[in-house]
C-alpha cells in the first residue's frame, strides 16, 4: 500500500476546507481507490477515508493511522458509516 499525495488535484476541496472550517492544514492522499483527507486544526486532527466502490478494509485504516499519526501512543475516535464506505478518525490535541 502506498499513500500518494494528490492535494494539487483537489484545490477546490482544500480551499473550501480552509475557508469554511477551523482547519489550518489540509492534505489529500490516494490509497488506490480510497481517498484519504487529512485535516489539522488547533484543536485536533481529522482523517477521513472514503471509497465509493467498496467497503474500507481494516488494514487500510491501520496503514493510514501508522503513516499519518506521528505519536503511536495517541488515542483516537473511530467513526464508521453503516456501509463502511466512509471512516473518520478523530484525534484531540
CATH architecture entry for 4-92: 3-Layer(aba) Sandwich (3.40)
Given a cut of 80, whether residue 26 has pLDDT beyond it is yes
Look at residue 12 and tell me whether its pLDDT is greater than 90.
Answer: yes
| Range 80-88 average pLDDT | 95
Looking at residue 87, its pLDDT comes to: 97
Q: What is the pTM of this model?
A: 0.92
- Quote the distance between the C-alpha of residue 58 and its chain's center: 14
List the beta bridge partners of residue 65: none
The three-state secondary structure class of 88 is strand
- The residues spanned by each domain of the chain are 4-92
Report the mean per-residue pLDDT for the chain. Answer: 94
Say how many CA atoms lie within 13 Å of 80 toward its Cβ: 10
What's the pLDDT score for residue 24? 96
Interatomic CA distance for residues 11 and 80, integer angstroms: 26
pLDDT of the residue at 93? 83
Residue 91, Cα to own-chain centre: how many angstroms? 11
Amino acid at each position: 500500500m502506498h499513500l500518494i499525495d494528490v492535494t494539487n488535484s483537489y484545490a477546490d476541496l482544500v480551499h473550501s476546507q480552509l475557508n469554511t472550517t477551523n482547519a489550518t492544514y489540509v492534505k489529500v492522499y490516494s490509497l488506490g481507490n480510497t481517498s484519504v483527507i487529512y485535516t489539522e486544526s488547533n484543536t485536533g486532527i481529522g482523517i477521513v477515508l472514503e471509497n465509493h466502490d467498496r467497503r474500507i478494509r481494516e488494514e487500510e485504516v491501520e496503514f493510514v493511522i501508522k503513516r499519518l499519526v506521528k505519536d503511536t501512543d495517541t488515542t483516537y475516535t473511530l467513526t464508521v458509516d453503516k456501509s463502511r464506505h466512509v471512516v473518520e478518525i478523530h484525534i484531540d490535541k
